[in-house]
Chains A and B, each alone.
Chain A
Amino acid sequence: MSERSVRMTVNGEVRQASVEPRLTLADFLREKCHLTGTHLGCEHGVCGACTVMVDGAAVRSCLAFAVQADGAEVTTIEGIAHPDGELSAVQAAFRDCHGLQCGFCTPGFVVSVTAFLRDNPGPSDEEVLDALSGNLCRCTGYQGIIRAVHQAAGTLREAAGA
């Protein structure tokens, strides 16, 4: 089958490659861009480990083909920290609150939570649980992750107020 050329901005950098149409966005990021922070758990939309932002919206990168993201702006876990390497508020909160153990699920959680708190800076407990429902973690038991979301929300609100 014929390859197609795709071009997208990934974490601010233009990436271009010739790809098979069946190459998922996740595999494009991992194999063509060598950005292996985007993890693949289930590859059919259930676990959330592969979550990235496409034009600002958190989506499953295993449920999109790279060709569909032609022209898009993509943010992966590698693009979440500040340019000088300082952790983002969400990342720092995950560390502080023991929101991770093995870390396999963490990129998906951090990207999802980053998008969620941008759209809903003052979430209720229930809204936080709802937002986290699309990401699975086999290690932490979720309590640390839930605390991390609340802590990050507080930090971000303070920063916005300051």
Chain B
Amino acid sequence: MKPAPFEYHAPESLPEALALLSELGDEAKVLAGGQSLIPVLALRLTVFANLVDIGRIAELAGIERRNGSLRIGATTTEAAVGADAQVASSVPLLARATPLIGHFQIRNRGTLGGSIAHADPAAEYPAVALTLDATMEVASPGGRREIAAGDFFDGLWSTTMAPDEMLTAVRFPVWGGRCGFGVEEFARRHGDFAMAGATVALEVDEADKVKRCAIGLIGLGSTPLRAGGAESAAVGSSAREIDAAEIGRRAVDGLESVPADLHGSASYRRRVGAEMVSRAWAAASKEACGE
């Protein structure tokens, strides 16, 4: 339970961190809150000769409203996200997903960027980012670029960032109009990663017809997923007439790589997933219609 020896680097600026990462290459790993990385190091599931701690880079933390989106710096802690009034009012889905992450002691150190870069399919923030079509801001010594959430998660714990790239911030679009949001998940013990879960964002017009919606699936594949078929089926229908259970069934229809382990079979998880979508949809729809 003790990590193997490593060299520790604590750069105080982003360029310094990026230079270190490109110079050290495969031998180096970013250390943010450490709440996923340190357990993996302690269990010696992986070994790195160098850790680059990004926790002392001031410019990477903070929450800022920019035009139509809320920009959250990568090292902003999950606790800070959960306590922020702007997050609660402009990206309610993110605020509501936060208390479902682990325990408060974990959220005090775990970071938004770490959770999204870690790309666990059962984690809350990656699913919220995908549901809201967030934009990932990444940087390397070669420059900066943006990656749409839809192009970011490409496999179990894997993203389309290049090895010398770092996630610097995530921009979450702010939904206006008559909106509602829901997040639901099921875990065997409070604070555990969910066995299955769902995130829903929904906007209705004056006649309560669904104008746009997004359904995210947690723990039902090797990445967070969107239930595109169920989304397009709902758009244009009256939110008050949509059967939430039917949306749930549709959302898990055709899922191909639902995980299975001793905690639950794929078919069990699929059914739990359908129920979570149904509940999240019902909550979001109720909120959007102002009931």
Contacts and interface: CB of A to CB of B under 8 A. Distances in A.
Interface in A38-65: 42-45, 48, 51, 57-60, 62-65
A133 interface: yes
A43 B81 CA distance: 26
Contacts of B108: 57-59
Contacts of B5: 1, 20-22
Interface string B208-243: 000000000000000000000000000000000000
Judged by DSSP, the binding face of A is mixed
A2 B6 CA distance: 9
A2 B103 CA distance: 34
A135 B109 CA distance: 16
A116 interface: yes
Given A22-B3, A134-B191, A112 B38 contact: no
A112 B105 contact: yes
Nearest to B39: A44
Contacts of B31: 68
Contact of A130 (B6, B39, B43, B99): B99
B51 A21 contact: yes
B11 interface: no
Contact of B105 (A42, A60, A67, A129): A60
Contacts of A112: 104-105
A146 interface: no
Contacts of A97: none
Contact of A65 (B34, B102, B105): B34
Contacts of A156: none
A45 B43 CA distance: 11
A21 B105 CA distance: 22
Nearest to B77: A57
A59 B190 contact: no
A45 B106 contact: yes
Contact of A63 (B2, B8, B99, B109): B109
Contacts of A4: 8
Judged by DSSP, the binding face of B is loop
Interface string A121-148: 0000000011101100000000000000
Contacts of A65: 8, 34, 38
Interface in A1-44: 1-2, 4, 20-22, 24, 27, 42-44
Contacts of A64: 34, 38, 109
B255 interface: no
B103 A44 contact: no
B79 interface: yes
Given A22-B6, A44-B43, A67-B10, A58 B105 contact: yes
B55 interface: yes
Contacts of B6: 1, 21-22
A59 B34 CA distance: 11
A64 B55 CA distance: 12
Given A131-B104, A133-B103, A134-B103, A1 B7 contact: yes
Given A1-B6, A58-B104, 16 more contacts: A1-B5, A22-B3, A22-B6, A24-B2, A48-B105, A59-B105, A59-B109, A62-B42, A63-B38, A65-B34, A129-B190, A130-B99, A131-B104, A133-B190, A134-B103, A134-B104
Interface of B: 1-8, 10, 31, 34-35, 38-39, 41-43, 51, 53, 55, 79, 99, 102-106, 108-109, 189-191
27 contacts: A1-B5, A1-B7, A2-B7, A4-B8, A20-B5, A21-B6, A21-B8, A21-B51, A22-B3, A24-B38, A24-B42, A43-B42, A44-B43, A45-B38, A48-B103, A57-B109, A58-B105, A59-B105, A63-B39, A67-B8, A67-B10, A68-B55, A130-B190, A133-B103, A133-B190, A133-B191, A134-B191
The 7 closest A-B pairs by CB, nearest first: A134-B103, A21-B8, A43-B1, A44-B39, A57-B108, A133-B190, A1-B5
